[in-house]
Homo-oligomer: A and B are copies of this chain.
Amino acid sequence: MPGTHPLRVALLGCGVVGTEVARGILANPIDLAARVGAPVELAGIAVRSLDAERDPAIPRELLTTDAETLVDGADVVVEVMGGIEPARTLILRALERGAAVVTANKALLAAGGPELFEAADAAGVDLLYEAAVAGAIPIVRPIRESLAGDHVRRILGIVNGTTNFVLDKMATEGVELDQAVKEAQQLGYAEADPTADVDGYDAAAKAAILASLAFHTRVALADVAREGIRAVTADDVEWAKRTGHVIKLLAVAEVLGPVDDGEISVRVHPALVPADHPLASVRGAFNAVFVEADGAGPLMFYGQGAGGRPTASAVLGDVVSAARRRLTGGKGLRESKDQRFPVLPPEAAVTRFQVRLAIADRPGVLAQVATVLADHGVSIDTVRQTSSHTHSGEGETGAATLVITTHAAREASLAATVDAVARLEPVRQIISVLRVEGA
């Protein structure tokens, strides 16, 4: 394409993802040029230190510590440095100068998205972030564009590969959480400090982004009720199997009430998923997002949620989109926030529950427990009572295990109900309370 001004891409960050983005632009320039309609040039890569050890494919002369100057000369700025600052300031600077921005920074979007979207709207440029949720899986664009003429009712997402790997390991090998986390660390699926994954912070940021997109409402990280997988035991996983479920850490976003005038609930927690649900077969470190929309019905998107190359694939797709728009003209995609649904507090969430109790193994206990549930307006779906001599591992002799699955109930009612059940004389222990999703 002689005479066509090359589109200048500034890359901020050169970690695992940044390196793969740079390789993608450098290794195959003809291809990107054909897809965009003009040559695409990697103008430079902003790094903290010029001397860090890097992939030999990264030309040293592209590196700079002067991110501001790099941003100022760019058509498209790709931010893959992570963290809040200086990413936020650099993205705002890019948008104000009229550059399109592509980011993979879920933490920044969940914490400070509105400010960034307003800056993008004001400048009329694209702020694209396909890589911020579920890595390589195209999920942002489908919700933002393909479902723009539909009403999303509910999203159930396995959006954290580390915890899915850990739970899958527990299910297939019967090991406890600590052991599974250790294996994930050895394989590079989990950080030395696994808090962000195990305690659900990473999934919560993604839940906020997905809910904002799906419900055209600004949902902040603080709106997301969050519970990690630390309390999940090998015993829970085994009982899940016995009752026809698998345990998954889910990001849930749903509308309660009328789809055009409802309230939304956004949360992250471990949940029992029926074994025949499409999400149940998502194994290892894979991610999947299940979407229920009024018109489309159920949809699922499945793939790799992390890793340098998969994440770079999503970033490069956005680079092509942003670069094409620079070339062909027109304003960037606006943030859609027309619905402004109120976000419910965590205790108002409505789900089905499975409560597992150790009870005295004698007649009449189930009746007592069922009465307490009825008194609290919590309706029972199924009950399963097992004497300890048929299944081991449930504690003392003379105890039975009672597994109760409820119909949908408010989180607050369920908590009160469980408290009352725990006070019953023949109830030895509330072993676990798990939500059931996807039924």
Contact between A146 and B141 (Cβ–Cβ < 8 Å)? yes
Q: Interface 1/0s, chain A 281-313, versus B by CB < 8 A?
A: 100000000000111111111111001011011
- The reply to whether B313 and A293 form a contact with Cβ atoms under 8 Å apart is yes
List residues of A (315-351) whose CB comes within 8 Å of B's CBs: 315-321, 324-325, 328-334, 336, 338-339
What residues of chain B lie closer than 8 Å to A294, measured between beta carbons? Answer: 309, 313
A414 vs B303: C-alpha distance in the bound complex, in angstroms? 33
> Is A216 an interface residue, CB under 8 A from the partner?
yes
- Which of B216, B293, B300 touches A300 (beta carbons < 8 Å)? B300
Q: A317-B150, A319-B149 are in contact. Are A24 and B295 (CB under 8 A)?
A: yes
**Chain B contacts of A315 at CB under 8 A?**
149
In the complex, how many residues of chain A place their beta carbon closer than 8 angstroms to a beta carbon of chain B? 63
Q: Which residues of B contact A136 (CB under 8 A)?
A: 293, 295-297, 299
Selected from B35, B124, B130, the residue in CB contact (under 8 A) with A216 is B35
Judge whether A297 and B309 touch: CB under 8 Å: yes
Contact B303 A299, beta carbon cutoff 8 Å: yes
Q: Could you say which residues of chain B place their CB within 8 Å of the CB of A328?
A: 124, 330-332, 334
Answer whether residue A278 sits at the interface, using C-beta atoms and an 8 A cutoff: yes
A329 to chain B, nearest CB (A): 4
Tell me the complex Cα distance, A131–B330, Å.
25
- Chain B residue at smallest Cβ distance from A325: B330
CB closest chain-B residue, reference A297: B304
A138 B149 Cβ-Cβ under 8 A: no
Q: Which of A26-34, A110-118, A166-174, A186-194 contacts B (4 or more CB under 8 A)?
A: A26-34
- Is B302 a contact of A300 with CB atoms below 8 Å? yes
Count of chain copies: 2
Which residues of the other chain, B, contact A330 by a CB distance below 8 angstroms? 325, 328-331
A278 to B301 Cα, complex, angstroms: 11
Set of chain B residues within 8 Å of A150, measured between Cβ atoms: 313, 316-317
**Chain B nearest Cβ from A348, distance in angstroms:** 25
The CA-CA distance from A35 to B143 in the complex, in Å, is 12
**Which B residues lie within 8 Å of A297 (CB)?**
136, 303-304, 307, 309-310
Interface residues of A in 200-227 (CB under 8 A from B): 216
Q: Is A20 an interface residue (CB 8 A)?
A: yes
A216 CB to closest chain B CB (Å) equals: 7
Given contacts A138-B138, A330-B330, contact A130 B146 (CB under 8 A): yes
- A288: nearest residue on chain B (CB-CB)? B300
Cβ–Cβ < 8 Å partners of A317 in chain B: 145-150
Contact B331 A148 (CB under 8 A): no
Residues from chain B with a CB closer than 8 A to the CB of A178 are none
- With A and B bound together, what is the CA distance between A330 and B124 in angstroms? 12
CA distance A329 to B332 in the complex (A): 10
* Cβ-based interface call for A260 (8 A): yes
- Among residues of B, the one whose C-beta sits closest to the C-beta of A295 is B313
A126→B31 CA distance, assembly (Å)? 22
Contact sample, A vs B, 8 pairs, CB 8 Å cutoff: A32-B149, A34-B339, A35-B336, A136-B299, A149-B318, A150-B313, A295-B309, A298-B302
- A interface residues with partner B (beta carbon < 8 Å): 20, 24, 28, 31-32, 34-35, 37, 124, 130, 136-138, 141-142, 145-151, 216, 260, 278, 281, 293-304, 307, 309-310, 312-321, 324-325, 328-334, 336, 338-339
